[in-house]
Chains A and B, each alone.
Chain A
Amino acid sequence: MKELFILAIVTTFTLVTYYLVEPFAHSHMHKHHESEHFAYKDLPALTKKGDVARGKDLVMGAGACTGCHGIKVAGLSAPMDAVSSAAAYGVNPPDLSNVGVVFDPKFLASVINNPAHALMLEHKYNAKSGKTFPMPQFYGAGGDKSQEVADMVAYLQSIAVPEEKLTPNMAFETACGRCHAIHYEYNLNGKMHPAWTQIGETPKFKHTQDKLAFEMNVANYNDSLIKYLGKLPPDLSMYIRSRGEHFISTFVENPQQYLKGTAMPRVGVTAEAAEKVITHLQDVGDSKRHKRESVGKNVMIYIIIFAIFAILWKKQVWKELH
């Protein structure tokens, strides 16, 4: 009994210390933000039902989206390569193949209508600064503008891969990959995936010249990014461990609430796509998590059996002593 009492005291002091240096201290060090569940409540809802065929005409039309964006699934490559695009616009405009599934439809409509507002970059692009966002606003093609926007969104949704076919790395590439690199290769289900740069996956090179040329392109692209954003966005290889799931998802949802004035735009991903981005970051930075859990269970079973035997041994030995 006395030993249990001592154990209770030791445990209490240990837990109090743990509580104070972990949950208590961290609650005073970092502002906590609740998830908004990717609802984007500040953006107007889509009221019109879009028409895919008309949307296609609008997206492909002269002077419209395809003047800057590629749509690989429709067989259209971008007018310029990534490096030249970044030199011209600051960042390479995204290929539109999968934007319909990665981004929230409300957000897509808002980006078409007023990109700086949707991306929460009005502190940077406003009348006072005299800067305009590289992507022009859509002023309408002559008809009902809100209908036209709904049509374009409908078209983009129609060409995107179905939600269940969107893989974690596709979600990452569309949502984050033009600004953030992941310099860790990763092994997913036994297959190695190459490291990611802002201009795409690092290819395998046969010749040093090709490797150097690729690195030169990445460096040039990143120079444009630095000019555009102020600094090179961080490599995300270990972000799942350095920031954790909650921070990443609430940060992506609304970067301004953590870092007021940051050049990182609101990305506008759907809740499902955000989850896939997180999964991708886990695949890269915490690839052994499943193994950790399964090995952990087995070790716990083993060690509990060991403890039981140790207790029995003690009882047997001490029978002679009391």
Chain B
Amino acid sequence: MAHFTKATSMHDWLNQRLGVDTLNRVLATEYWIPKNINFLWAMGMILAITFGILLVSGIFLLMYYQPNVNLAFDSVNYTIMQEVGYGWLWRHVHGVAASVVFLIIYIHMFTGIYYGSYKKGREMIWISGMLLFVAFSAEAFSGYMLPWGQMSYWAGMVITNLFSGGSLHADGLVEWIRGDYVPAQAYLNRFFMLHVLLIPVAIMGLIGLHFGALRIPHVNNQDGEEIDFDVESKKYLAGDTKNSKVIRFMNDFLAKDMMVVGIYLVFFFYLVFFHYDFAMDPVNFDPADGLKTPTHIYPEWYFLWSYEILRPFSTNVGLIAFAFAQVIFVMLPFLDRSPNTVPASRRGLFKYWFWAMLIDMIVLTAMGKVPPIEPFGTIGFYAALTFIGLWIALPFITKFEKKV
């Protein structure tokens, strides 16, 4: 057992038992971050804060929500939105945050792709990040079921149907997932459980893994420069903060993070109070009705690109393309054969690959929402082919990339 002395202060008392000084040093004051970064490096903090907002608002909503097919819709739209003090605020915050979190995730992802932050020891950061993306997607989908509106019901119907695997006709699997022949009480209950317990717990675990994965390879920087963190941190600690290439996590990096977070929150709360419709589809304000299919069924905007990879093909081909789209991003560190960890702008063909991928995904997103009429059907079809083609081309164009 360790030797304890009479504490001289509250701080000392805690320090002897928890090692708060060491913790503070390791996690904050001597956790070194490169100085050469821009505001895109704050997206992680924005995501953490948005997740916090989702968690807190979700806890408030959970106190009044009723996971029952007869009560769910009114518990959201009447009890929470009208009876409970500020219930409307929590719901709008939760709904808007659920949508905005994906915007930030995509910015975060494309930042990583642009700067090559998934390479040379940073593979686990990328993989844990993609697992987080999958978990957030499942969280968003299960949460979308809960108001039990028309879009909840029919999106649930469509997405669970995917598990029948087209010609495989695995209808038993679909029934097993639903707990019924159609989305009903058993279905709502299990998605409620997934949304408020299992997936959030998984997300929190994955966030821990994601942070942990950063520790050894360190955060990347704007020029992909390999920094000797030992040398640079010594320089910093010796007082040469201006010439050191690294900064402390706290307060240096945090101060910049909070500046970006502050500006982000202005944007976020503007959406919550004055422009929330994009995140709260009007169709879902009609109660679920299994006998009335809505004219248009479409997922929320952040799933549209993968939906459009499914839609333009015949059932089986579409499902295979869809499955491909779901897993391919995880493989990025292994499909990129280039030795360079530098911004895409300095990487030859990859530069074009990056912008083509970004634009193609925006085109897919747009085509995933409009009705499948011409010319949208054709545009969507070629955009889906382009998506697949770009991934197939990636190992080849990166293999022949010149070392910079």
Q: Which range contains the number of B residues in contact with the other chain? A: 35 or more
A322 at the interface (CB under 8 A from B): yes
B70 at the interface (CB under 8 A from A): no
Q: Which residues of A contact B77 (CB under 8 A)?
A: 237-238, 241, 285
Q: Shortest CB–CB separation between residue B368 and chain A, in angstroms? A: 8
Q: Shortest CB–CB separation between residue B351 and chain A, in angstroms? A: 14
- In the complex, are the beta carbons of A10 and B255 less than 8 A apart? no
Query: Given A242-B282, A288-B88, do A184 and B371 touch, yes or no (CB 8 Å)?
Result: no
- In the complex, are the beta carbons of B256 and A314 less than 8 A apart? yes
Q: Which residues of A contact B287 (CB under 8 A)?
A: 238
- In the complex, are the beta carbons of B282 and A318 less than 8 A apart? no
- In the complex, are the beta carbons of B38 and A28 less than 8 A apart? no
- In the complex, are the beta carbons of B39 and A7 less than 8 A apart? yes
Q: Mark B279-291, 1 if CB is under 8 A from A, else 0.
A: 0101111110000
Q: Shortest CB–CB separation between residue A74 and chain B, in angstroms? A: 37
A21 contact from B247, B283, B285, B301, Cβ within 8 A: B301
Q: Which residues of A contact B27 (CB under 8 A)?
A: none
**How far does the alpha carbon of A25 sit from the alpha carbon of B272 in the complex, in Å?**
22
B170 at the interface (CB under 8 A from A): no
Q: Which residues of A contact B266 (CB under 8 A)?
A: 300, 303-304, 307
- In the complex, are the beta carbons of A17 and B301 less than 8 A apart? yes
- In the complex, are the beta carbons of A313 and B255 less than 8 A apart? yes
Q: Shortest CB–CB separation between residue A257 and chain B, in angstroms? A: 16
Q: Which residues of B contact A244 (CB under 8 A)?
A: 282
* Nearest-neighbor residue (CB-CB) of A247 within chain B: B282
Q: Which of A16-72 contact B (CB under 8 A)?
A: 16-18, 20-22, 24-25, 28-29
Q: Which residues of A contact B74 (CB under 8 A)?
A: 184
Q: Which residues of A contact B270 (CB under 8 A)?
A: 300
**How far does the alpha carbon of A18 sit from the alpha carbon of B370 in the complex, in Å?**
13
> For chain A, what secondary structure do more than half of its interface residues adopt (helix, strand, loop), or is it mixed?
helix
- In the complex, are the beta carbons of B273 and A25 less than 8 A apart? no
Q: Mark A302-322, 1 if CB is under 8 A from B, else 0.
A: 011011111101101110111
- In the complex, are the beta carbons of B365 and A20 less than 8 A apart? yes
A287 at the interface (CB under 8 A from B): yes
B339 at the interface (CB under 8 A from A): no
- In the complex, are the beta carbons of A25 and B278 less than 8 A apart? no
B82 at the interface (CB under 8 A from A): yes
- In the complex, are the beta carbons of A300 and B366 less than 8 A apart? no
Q: Which range contains the number of A residues in contact with the other chain? A: 35 or more
Q: Which residues of A contact B35 (CB under 8 A)?
A: 321
Query: Given A186-B82, A288-B88, A299-B269, do A310 and B296 touch, yes or no (CB 8 Å)?
Result: no
**How far does the alpha carbon of A100 sit from the alpha carbon of B24 in the complex, in Å?**
76
**How far does the alpha carbon of A167 sit from the alpha carbon of B242 in the complex, in Å?**
69
B311 at the interface (CB under 8 A from A): no
* Nearest-neighbor residue (CB-CB) of A305 within chain B: B262
Q: Which residues of B contact A227 (CB under 8 A)?
A: none
A191 at the interface (CB under 8 A from B): no
Q: Which residues of B contact A25 (CB under 8 A)?
A: 366, 369-370
Query: Given A3-B38, A314-B256, do A295 and B273 touch, yes or no (CB 8 Å)?
Result: yes
B274 at the interface (CB under 8 A from A): yes
- In the complex, are the beta carbons of B265 and A241 less than 8 A apart? no
B334 at the interface (CB under 8 A from A): no
A209 at the interface (CB under 8 A from B): no
Q: Which of B107, B256, B273, B373 has the most C-beta atoms of chain A within 10 angstroms of its own C-beta? A: B273
Q: Which residues of A contact B23 (CB under 8 A)?
A: none
A144 at the interface (CB under 8 A from B): no
* Nearest-neighbor residue (CB-CB) of B304 within chain A: A21
A6 at the interface (CB under 8 A from B): yes
- In the complex, are the beta carbons of A184 and B78 less than 8 A apart? yes
- In the complex, are the beta carbons of A21 and B358 less than 8 A apart? no
22 residue pairs of the A-B complex, CB under 8 angstroms, read A3-B38, A18-B278, A20-B366, A21-B369, A25-B370, A28-B370, A28-B373, A184-B74, A184-B78, A241-B280, A242-B286, A243-B282, A244-B282, A288-B88, A296-B273, A296-B274, A303-B269, A306-B262, A307-B266, A309-B262, A314-B256, A321-B242
Beyond A17-B301, A25-B366, A306-B265, list 17 extra A-B contacts (CB 8 Å): A10-B40, A13-B358, A13-B362, A20-B365, A21-B369, A22-B278, A28-B371, A184-B82, A295-B273, A299-B269, A303-B265, A303-B266, A311-B263, A313-B258, A314-B255, A317-B255, A318-B252
Q: Which residues of A contact B (CB under 8 A)?
A: 2-3, 6-7, 10, 13-14, 16-18, 20-22, 24-25, 28-29, 184, 186-187, 234, 237-238, 241-244, 285, 287-288, 291-293, 295-296, 299-300, 303-304, 306-311, 313-314, 316-318, 320-322
